[in-house]
Amino acid sequence: MTPLLSGRGLVKRYGAAYALAGVDIDIAAGEVLAIVGPSGSGKTSLLHVLAGILKADDGAITLGGQRVDQLNETKRSELRRTEFGFVFQSGMLVTELTAEENVALPLLLGGRDRNMAISTARTWLGRLGLAGKETRRPGELSGGEAQRVAIARAVAHRPKVIFADEPTGALDTKTGRATVDALIDTAKETGAAVIIVTHDRELAAMVPRTVAIRDGRIEQPVVAQ
Amino acid sequence: MSPLQLALRVLRVDRRTQVSTVLTALGVAVATGLVLLLVSLPYATESRAERTLWQHPTSFSEGSSDGVVSWASSEDTVDGQLITRIDVAPLVDPADIVLPPGIDRLPAPGEMLRSPELAQLADSRPAAELADRFAAKPAGLLGDEALMFPEQLVVLVGHTPETMPVNASALPALASGEAEADGLLSLLAGVGVVVLLIPSLVLVASASRLTAARRERRLAALRLAGATPAQVTKMVAAETGLAAVAGALIGVAVSPVLHSVATWVPWGGGTWFARDFMLPWPVVVAVALAVPVLVVGAAVAGLRRVVSTPLMATGGHTVKPLSKARLLIVPAAALLFFWTLSMAGESENAMLPMLVSLGILMWSPTLVGPWVTSALGGVFTKVWRKPSALLAGRRLRDDPKAAYRASAGVVLAVFAGSMALTVMPSLESEAGYYSAYRDDVLYLSTDADSAKEIVSRADAGLSKYDLAQRAAAVGQVQIKQGDQYLQGYVVSCEDAKVLLPVDLTCGSAPAMYAPAGTSLSLVDYADSSGVEKTASLPGKPVDAPIGVVLIDPSLFPADAQPIVVDVAVPADAGTREAARTALLAASGGAQVISKEMKLNEQNTELADLRRVTVIGLVTAAVLGGLSAAIATAGSVMDRRRTFGALMAAGTPVRTLAKALRAEAALPALVSTLGAGALGTAVGVGLFGLVSQSLPVFSPWLAAPIALGALVALLAASVCRPALNRVRAEPLADE
């Protein structure tokens, strides 16, 4: 299987401390992967490095066989905007914008016109069970609803990879599971690969492949289904 | 843990609180320093007036028998610099005359005391150009305590009562009366307090808002943990009070520096002594207490939400639309201002209410501005095409108060600028020189008896200085030709051609010259009943289209008296100083008038106004720009998580920066237009206080609006480094 996204020998240092100490990781197109580990293990740093939010101090990252770690910030921003989608803890939605505007935002930033972007946003919100709540603000939605808006925003521009950083961190167990189900189902629909970072092993168990990270190094796969 | 201990602990550990505290303290220091400076201005002018009461007494004796000293003053000029000349003659034993500080003795007749600057100037020039004017021997120097400002050119000339100028008055003391502060500078200081204090307080508000979101969460958590509203209020008062008290102390400490800088700024022809700006200590204490109290009061008032409903502060809140009633505040404040302005025109006591209402009017845009901002946001959220317009529009709509806060200082600066630029050109349009004589003529007014002697002495002086021109006496009379009144001059035709702006050909024999018409009669108001009396003038005048009547002195009736007699000398730029010296020495201290002297006086006044206006505007613009920059940075910091997530998801910094710039600059652009119009209206009103003329509107009125928009844009540009800072931080919860 040719990996869609691949990291080799990834190193990230904060001063003298290693957040990543030589990580190798691959993810195939359409694959769903969970990265688990305790606080401070380096899982969020790994996600940020793979997504190009942070620049690795050493190592190589390829997307579809192309090196992306050597891109400058402008190119990396463009890559994140077009090829990647993101779901953060608590949604990290723009509080001033409505649900549909939040979802439409990446499309607008990608150059789509207003009507097209809003129409696509409404479609995805409908598929995620949020029909009728398109004009609500994040403050007017429940935690689970806000995360589904975040999922809609992450997939609306049909990215190749969706990065989810503790997507259920602020939700109760039931809502958290429903949110991850929604994320996985939506990704399947678009063919996107999903990388979920979580410290919740029960949540990780819902995902086909899990890798554990500790002290900046990948441990043996704990689950391989 | 006491509120103060908690405040200190937060200050020790939280970097943003430290930054906010430092900026708040700086804002309070600036406000305190500026208020102390502006409040000291009336004291400074009063101090000047106190020292120079002997030059400008405000109380005169009713008759010469009541007075102890005969006193006359005149103004002179050399190379555009004003010289104040005081002539005195004792009316009692000189030992019984109380001398003001700085004058160690009364100069004897024929002696003079000069200011150090005048002594130096006179000694450095030929006597014909200056020293001879006083016709007296230097007998010492005037001390600083007798001078209006350090470089003042002033001379005190001693006389006998008989040699005093004709306009002399008797004084009950050499320095008699009450010193009064300069009305114009006091008015400007009052306006300055309002114009500069408000931007200073906006700066303080912007600085303290830097940590508002975080503080609200902290206080809400404390409320949820059981802290009472009073405890929370005390905590905020302690937190803000720390910065405010520190700032006020810094302001008091640096105010002597500000005062020293202010001594270099000329007003009324000269700079200042450092001691002029000394304030009575109760005033310093009052200002040092009032500014922090205002700041703490504003901070506590801003706590209403977290005190009443802490959950709203922690969990977000629904935005309530702003009431349209806000729109009524500006017209109401404008009505109040113009009403108090009309009162101020009638009574001096109404000046304070007028200044207070001006303050209210200047404050009113801060209430209307958010409504306008919200309306603007509403338009943007409907018509947006670009994400930056959407983000800016939503932000303006959702939190118009915060969005407007960034431009509030700039709006106030534009208001002040428009006000000043309305008043200044209008005042400048009033400047000018109106005289019966040609522009190059020097003249003094005297009586008919003295005129002949002055002409004779002046001619001797002119000969002594090798000048070709000669002095002439010009009597002024009123002439009636039919029903029309005309100005008449008793002067020879040849002298008239040189001295008066008339163009005519003189005949060989003495004659009268007048516009063609019926016969002429001389108007005389000498009757105590005020009934007009006329006397026929003998002979037929020569027709001359000159608009005035010229009567050769040999034809003027011997039993008639001119209303006033001038002694005039033509003098071009090359001979002006020596001709002035000859005329002054001949008159013994009369007021010599010339075009350049009058224009210099007006130019000095206008330059003073221009200077303080520019200083005030630059200060207001800098304060406004700083407030806007801090508010913009604070707005980025408040939303750092959202912006961080957007940038992580690939949103270019330039897109966010564009949205933030629009968010900061749009309300400023709209509000500056309104503030410009309001400032212009206030300027028209204030101009009406000092003049009956119509105001002049110059194209420069657009400058404050353009400048305000530019300052707002520049200040908004700080969002870029602020966003870069957010991008550099780890994407994590606070």
Instruction: Report whether pLDDT(A1) > 90.
Output: no
Q: Give the residue on A whose Cα is nearest the Cα of B317.
A: A139
Note whether B401 contacts A: Cβ–Cβ < 8 A.
Answer: no
The reported pLDDT for the residue numbered A196 is 92
Number of H helices, E strands in chain A: 7, 11
Please give the Cα distance from B395 to B376 (Å, whole number): 11
Block mean pLDDT (10 aa), chain B, length 734: 74 78 85 87 88 85 75 87 92 89 92 95 90 90 94 94 85 79 75 73 73 70 71 80 91 92 89 91 92 83 62 50 84 89 74 83 85 88 84 83 75 81 76 80 88 92 92 90 86 92 87 82 69 76 86 85 89 88 86 84 80 80 80 78 80 81 77 86 83 76 80 82 76 47
Residue A52 inside a domain? The answer is yes
Question: Which amino acid makes up residue B179?
Answer: A
Smallest Cβ–Cβ distance between B641 and the set A77, A82, A92 belongs to A92
A19 assigned to some structural domain: yes
Burial of B301 (C-beta count, 10 Å sphere; 0-12/13-18/19+): exposed
Pairing of strands B441-446, B111-114: unpaired
User: Which one of B651, B663, B720 would you mutate to disrupt binding with A, by most A Cβ within 10 Å of its Cβ?
Assistant: B651
Name which of B391, B403, B397, B398 is nearest B651 in CA terms: B391
User: How many separate domains does chain A show?
Assistant: 1
Beta carbons within 8 Å of A206's beta carbon, 6+ residues apart:
A177, A180, A181, A184
A81 and chain B in contact, CB less than 8 A = yes
CA-based nearest distance B715→chain A, Å: 23
A182 domain-assigned: yes
Q: Extract the runs of DSSP E, i.e. beta strands, from B232-374.
A: none
Distance between CA atoms of A14 and A17, rounded to whole angstroms?
A: 5
CB contact under 8 A, A74 and B648: no
pLDDT of residue B441: 93
Containing structural domain, residue A200: 5-93+142-224
**Residue pLDDT, tens place only, A144-195:** 898 889 889 888 888 999 999 888 876 778 888 888 888 898 888 889 999 9
Q: What are phi and psi of B199, to 5 degrees?
A: -60, -35
> For B75, phi and psi rounded to 5 degrees?
-115, 145
| Interchain proximity B391–A94, CB inside 8 Å | yes
Note the pTM of the prediction, 2 decimals.
Answer: 0.70
Go through A163-172 and write b for each residue having 16 or more CB atoms within 10 A of its CB, e for each that does not.
bbbbbbbbbe
Question: Buried (b) or exposed (e) across B603-619, using 16+ Cβ within 10 A?
Answer: ebbeebbeebbeebbeb
Inter-chain touch A97–B390, beta carbons under 8 Å: yes
pLDDT tens, residue by residue, B234-266: 877 888 888 889 999 999 999 999 999 999 999
Determine how many CB atoms are found less than 10 A away from the CB of residue B578. Answer: 23
Q: How far is CA A159 from CA A46, A48, A110, A119, B168, in A?
A: 19, 16, 12, 18, 97
Contact call for residues B85 and B589 (beta carbons, < 8 A): yes
CA distance linking residue B174 with residue B220, whole number of Å: 70
Residues A112-119 have a mean pLDDT of 90
Res B303: pLDDT: 66
Which chain B residues are within 8 Å of A80, Cβ to Cβ? 648-650
What does the pLDDT read at residue A91? 65
What pLDDT is recorded for position B348? 66
Residue B731 forms contact with A (CB below 8 Å): yes
Question: Residue A130: inside a domain, yes or no?
Answer: no
Which CATH number characterizes residue A182's domain? 3.40.50.300
Above 60 in pLDDT, residue A222? no
Q: Report CA dihedral (B298, B301, B306, B308) to the nearest 10 degrees.
A: 180
Mutation target for A interface from B394, B395, B647, B654: give the one with most A CBs within 10 A: B394
Q: Which residues pair with B78 in a beta bridge?
A: B81
B645 and A CB contact within 8 Å: yes
The DSSP 8-state label assigned to residue B274 in this structure reads G
Is A115 inside a domain boundary?
Answer: no
Q: Nearest 5°: phi and psi at B365?
A: -60, -25
Q: Do A77 and B641 touch (CB under 8 A)?
A: no
To which H or E segment does residue B89 belong? Answer: strand B81-90
Strand-strand pairing, A84-87 and A161-165:
parallel
Chain B contact for A97, CB < 8 A?
yes
